[in-house]
A = this chain, B = another copy of it.
């Protein structure tokens, strides 16, 4: 009894706007109509558009990044009915494969303008920038970040089941309180946004309701996962997802050819359109049986492997770039860790914006190291040396003389007319992001 070809449950039409395709949607809401039905135990292919819905072009100018309309993303494929799934069940999602479309072998990494999206280091790097990546089989390279090639740790940035009405209300309340209390000069969360709502096949009042209530797809959330952006949730992974509504209403999207831990530039993975192949199984009453409040997962077996001795690990602590001591703040520590790496890469000729893009999308390892030694949290970031086609080891760094590597590192894409991004040295004060006032020893 030969098995046949695997069924495709969602087809993307690249000649049509994303918001006219009924198997896509861009909000989390229990009332978005099913986009299709999948059997318990079935394996299907699901086509996905890139998270922006096609706003970004394969060119050498970052205007599209700078002017992106962030009321639209993410466009997700679904929601799908998984036969038999009921609230309280666990949906076991096994990712059998993720691939780009054969005729669209490219993706993009972007740094958003600080005033439109921003990112983890936007106080220091406020400009928009972009790198285009070309795919050849398992490998990606970029004309905007030369001398780098790496195998994709390909994965979906988003997967999850729809919230129940009760859970959605919890989300809106919880995030609304944060917004209400906000004293920062930046958005801290995104409330429901009726503009540019795409609710699949819903229209009229139902669509309007979804717009008023529907949760944005930007953050991941503990009760269902969603936009968790876990780089290792790649081919072969098994994810255990809580089910909150009858039929599960599973959605997936935001495919990444590769991502580094943190996805620091926000549009930071190698974002792409592609095809994900998934097997679905329902574990009846799994939430109670397994005691899960958030998703868990088991990685697949085919991650790129470099050997531990092929990483350079950078260390960062919760003292910020102004020399200010924070209390056990892992976020601050990780920011410092990424800055240490950007500084290191400078001596090989990379521009800071190139490195910021690279750390966002290359398979860098971000670890919590020490989290109890007051007042300093410590984190580490592992940069694989083998993604570069020249030697970036500490020994090579120490041996570099005045002449540097002699390699042409080109530049990434900036907004029209610009050939470099702004570095806000005041924000990254004390020259070169140093802390503690410029320790420089002369002998």
Asked whether, in the complex, the Cβ of A221 is within 8 Å of the Cβ of B137, the reply is no
Taking the nearest CB of chain B, how far is it from the CB of A232, in angstroms? 7
Give A12 to B317 CA distance when docked, in angstroms.
31
- Given the interface contacts A6-B105, A175-B325, A372-B268, does A314 sit within 8 Å of B294 by beta carbon? yes
CB-defined contacts of A171 to chain B, threshold 8 Å: 436
- Given the interface contacts A277-B136, A374-B190, does A313 sit within 8 Å of B297 by beta carbon? yes
Q: Is A177 an interface residue (CB 8 A)?
A: yes
Taking the nearest CB of chain B, how far is it from the CB of A381, in angstroms? 9
Asked whether, in the complex, the Cβ of A435 is within 8 Å of the Cβ of B222, the reply is yes
Give A295 to B244 CA distance when docked, in angstroms.
46
Which of A61-69, A195-203, A204-212, A329-337 faces chain B? A329-337
- Given the interface contacts A315-B222, A328-B331, does A394 sit within 8 Å of B305 by beta carbon? no
Taking the nearest CB of chain B, how far is it from the CB of A395, in angstroms? 9
Which of A15-23, A24-32, A341-349 faces chain B? A341-349
Q: Which one of B6, B136, B225, B324 contacts A315 once the chains associate, using CB atoms below 8 Å?
A: B225
CB-defined contacts of A315 to chain B, threshold 8 Å: 220, 222, 225, 228, 230, 294-297
CB-defined contacts of A296 to chain B, threshold 8 Å: 312-315, 340, 344, 394
Tell me the nearest residue of chain B to A117, going by C-beta: B372
Q: Is A125 an interface residue (CB 8 A)?
A: no
CB-defined contacts of A36 to chain B, threshold 8 Å: none
Candidate in A43, A279, A305, A442 with the most chain B CB atoms within 10 angstroms: A305
Tell me the nearest residue of chain B to A57, going by C-beta: B2
Q: In chain A between 54 and 86, which residues have their CB closer than 8 angstroms to a CB of chain B?
A: 58-60, 86
Which of A257-265, A404-412, A420-428 faces chain B? A257-265
Q: Is A48 an interface residue (CB 8 A)?
A: no
- Given the interface contacts A137-B277, A189-B375, A306-B301, does A398 sit within 8 Å of B286 by beta carbon? yes
- Other A-B pairs, 8, CB within 8 Å; known A167-B439, A218-B374: A6-B136, A178-B327, A242-B439, A261-B368, A284-B443, A286-B398, A291-B347, A305-B305
Q: Which one of B138, B242, B289 contacts A302 once the chains associate, using CB atoms below 8 Å?
A: B138
Q: Is A223 an interface residue (CB 8 A)?
A: yes
